[in-house]
Amino acid sequence: MRLWGSVGFMITVFAAGAWFERYGMGSFPGWAGITLAGVLLCTLWLPNVKEAAHHAEHAPHAPIGPVLRQPQVRWFFASLFFHVMAHFAIYGFYSLHLDALGYSKATIGALWGISVAVEIAWFYAQGRLIGRLPMANWLVACGVATVLRMAMIAGLSGSLAALFVAQMLHALTFATHHTACIAMVSQHFPGRLRGRGQALFTVTGYGLGGMLGVLAGGAVASRWGFRVMFGAAAVLALLATACAVRARRESRGWADVRAGAGKGRIPSCLFSCAP
């Protein structure tokens, strides 16, 4: 499903980039209105089918507090918050930054297309790749890639080749990060907790992190310019990486404790709410 969203995004970016280059940005509200109307129509055409009740729905209510008190879960959400906050520098200001540097709208659209192309490639191949590392390790790798990407945009945005490489990193900074986060949410919030875990993922990352990323990015860019803003995004990505490292360390410690419980050294009842 996420792959097809990326395909639609890439088609729109290429088509809209060529259109705006020729006719200007005056038609932007029309483009937005038409695409949103298409989303609405497709939503109305969806079949009205109720999902069959899952056996987990009949299980006793599972408290979410014990899960949120686990250190690896708290560090995971901290990493998610800073990572998405940093990444919204791309979504909110990347095109504006390149336009201010004199890049054509077609070039900007092509750079966006590159990022979505590698995103699609990852989503297509992720079933064969994602299992090669633990999810916590992927989280660290994605954080490092985000630091590098933001630093390249801040310091090397005059080079089209550097921008090309930075956009290629989108496969890690967004696509892989999204996959790893969803997997970790499913791991930490099993059964009836999964819906609340996914809600916390959306609110913490793309809700609170995204909103603050855009607001803070706009304030920094207005005062000091886009280069400084992307430098600040690199610092946020560094914080996200540090939190991911702590989450990985806590996950390993938690796994050791659970292994001890499995061997009878620790009462297994302590893990009744554990992922």
Assign residue 206 the CATH number of its domain: 1.20.1250.20
Judged against a pLDDT cut of 80, whether residue 208 lies above it is answered with yes
- Domain assignment present for 15: no
Instruction: Tell me the range of 47-61, 118-132, 245-259 where mean pLDDT is highest.
Output: 118-132
- Domain assignment present for 150: yes
- Domain assignment present for 167: yes
- Domain assignment present for 255: yes
Judged against a pLDDT cut of 60, whether residue 124 lies above it is answered with yes
Give the chain's domain count: 1
- Domain assignment present for 269: no
**Tokens encoding 219:** 């304030």
Q: For the chain, what percent of residues have pLDDT higher than 90?
A: 53
What is the CB neighbour count within 10 angstroms for residue 162? Answer: 14
Does residue 173 contact residue 87 with C-beta atoms inside 8 Å? yes
- Domain assignment present for 116: yes
Domain housing 255: 67-262
Q: Can you list the alpha helix ranges (DSSP code H) found in 58-134?
A: 65-68, 71-100, 105-129
- Domain assignment present for 47: no
- Domain assignment present for 25: no
What's the rounded Cα separation, in Å, for the pair 30 and 181? 35
pLDDT of res. 267: 39
Could you identify the residue written with the tokens 């390790």? 137
pTM over 0.75: yes
